[in-house]
C-alpha cells in the first residue's frame, strides 16, 4: 500500500489506521505500507524500514516493540515517542546503507 491515507484529514486517517489494524488482526496477512509519516509507521508497524534518498536503498531497520492491540493509549507511551524521535534522527542523519555504502 503506497500512502493509502495521504489524501484524507487527520481524524479520518486515524480511523482508517485503526480499521487497517483490525483487518490485519482478523486476517493475519502481511501488509507492506509506504508512508512519509513517522508517527503512522510506528503506530501501525512491527518493523520500520528507512530508505535513503535517490537512489532509494535500505538504510536501516527498526523493530517496533509496542504492545498490541494498539490504540490511542499507544500514542501516549514513552516508548512510542522515543522510537518516533529515533526514526526522525535516522532520517536526518547521513550515513551508510545496510550494504555499507555511503549515502
pLDDT digits (tens, 9 = 90+) for 36-64: 999 999 999 999 999 988 888 999 999 99
Q: Which of these, 62, 93, 75, lies nearest to 21 by C-alpha position? A: 75
Scan for cell 509496542, then name that residue.
66
| Spatial distance between the Cα atoms of 22 and 70, rounded to a whole number of angstroms | 10
| Spatial distance between the Cα atoms of 14 and 91, rounded to a whole number of angstroms | 23
Q: Which of these, 23, 5, 17, lies nearest to 42 by C-alpha position? A: 17
Percent of the chain with pLDDT over 70: 91
Mean pLDDT of 88-95: 88
Q: What pLDDT score does 102 carry? A: 64
| Spatial distance between the Cα atoms of 44 and 47, rounded to a whole number of angstroms | 9
pTM (2 d.p.): 0.86
Q: What pLDDT score does 93 carry? A: 87
Q: What pLDDT score does 25 carry? A: 95
pLDDT-based confidence at 101, cuts 50/70/90? low
Amino acid at each position: 500500500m503506497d500512502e493509502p491515507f495521504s489524501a484524507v484529514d487527520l481524524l479520518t486517517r486515524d480511523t482508517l489506521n485503526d480499521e487497517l489494524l483490525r483487518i490485519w488482526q482478523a486476517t493475519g496477512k502481511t501488509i507492506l505500507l509506504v508512508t512519509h509519516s513517522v508517527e503512522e509507521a510506528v503506530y501501525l508497524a512491527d518493523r520500520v524500514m528507512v530508505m535513503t534518498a535517490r537512489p532509494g536503498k535500505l538504510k536501516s531497520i527498526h523493530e517496533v516493540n509496542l504492545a498490541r492491540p494498539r490504540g490511542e493509549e499507544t500514542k501516549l507511551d514513552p516508548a512510542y515517542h522515543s522510537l518516533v524521535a529515533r526514526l526522525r534522527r535516522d532520517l536526518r542523519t547521513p550515513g551508510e546503507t545496510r550494504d555499507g555504502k555511503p549515502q
